[in-house]
Amino acid sequence: MVRAALPGRLSWRAGTVSAVRQETPSARTLVLEIPDWPGHLPGQHLDLRLTAEDGYSAQRSYSIASDWSAASGQVEITIQRLDDGEVSPYLTDVVEPGDQIELRGPIGGWFVWRATQPAPVLLVAGGSGIVPLMAMIRDRGRRRARQPFRLIYSVRTPEDACFADELRRRVRDDPGLDVHFVYTRKTPDGWPTPPKRIDVATINSHGWPPDFAPDVFVCGPTSFVETAADILVALGHDPKKVRTERFGGA
Amino acid sequence: MPELDGNALAGDLAEVFAVEMTAARFTCGGCRHSGTVATLRVWTPAPGVVGRCPGCGDVLLRLVRTPRSVFVTLGTTRLELDV
Ligand SMILES: Cc1cc2nc3c(=O)[nH]c(=O)nc-3n(C[C@H](O)[C@H](O)[C@H](O)COP(=O)(O)OP(=O)(O)OC[C@H]3O[C@@H](n4cnc5c(N)ncnc54)[C@H](O)[C@@H]3O)c2cc1C
Ligand SMILES: [Zn+2]
Domains and CATH numbers, chain A: 13-107 (2.40.30.10), 121-247 (3.40.50.80)
Q: Which residue owns the Cα nearest ligand 1 atom 43? A: A249
Chain B: give the shortest CA distance to residue A204, in Å: 24
* Helix boundaries (H) for A90-244: 130-143, 164-173, 200-206, 222-234
Tell if the CB–CB gap between B10 and A11 is shorter than 8 Å: no
Please name which of B61, B49, B35 lies closest in space to residue B3, comparing C-alpha atoms: B49
Mean pLDDT of A160-181: 98
Please enumerate residues of A whose Cβ is less than 8 A from a Cβ of B: 1, 3, 6-11, 45-47, 61, 104-105, 107-111, 222, 243-249
Q: For A79-122, what is each residue's pLDDT tens digit?
A: 999 999 999 999 999 999 999 999 999 999 999 999 999 999 99
* Helix boundaries (H) for A174-219: 200-206
Note whether residue B64 is domain-resident. yes
Query: Which residues of A are less than 8 Å from B23 in CB distance?
Result: 109-110
Note whether residue B1 is domain-resident. no
By residue range, what is the domain housing residue B66?
A: 6-80
Helix (H) or strand (E) holding B3: strand B3-5
Tell if the CB–CB gap between A111 and B11 is shorter than 8 Å: no
Task: Give the phi and the psi of residue A230 in degrees, each rounded to 5.
Answer: -60, -45
Q: How many domains does chain B have?
A: 1
Nearest ligand 1 atom, CA B2: 47
- Give the CA distances from residue B82 to residues A49, A57, A183, B29, in Å, rounded to whole numbers and listed in that order: 20, 21, 48, 28
Residues of chain B above pLDDT 90, percent: 67
Q: For A120-136, what is each residue's pLDDT tens digit?
A: 999 999 999 999 999 99
Query: Which residues of B are less than 8 Å from A106 in CB distance?
Result: none
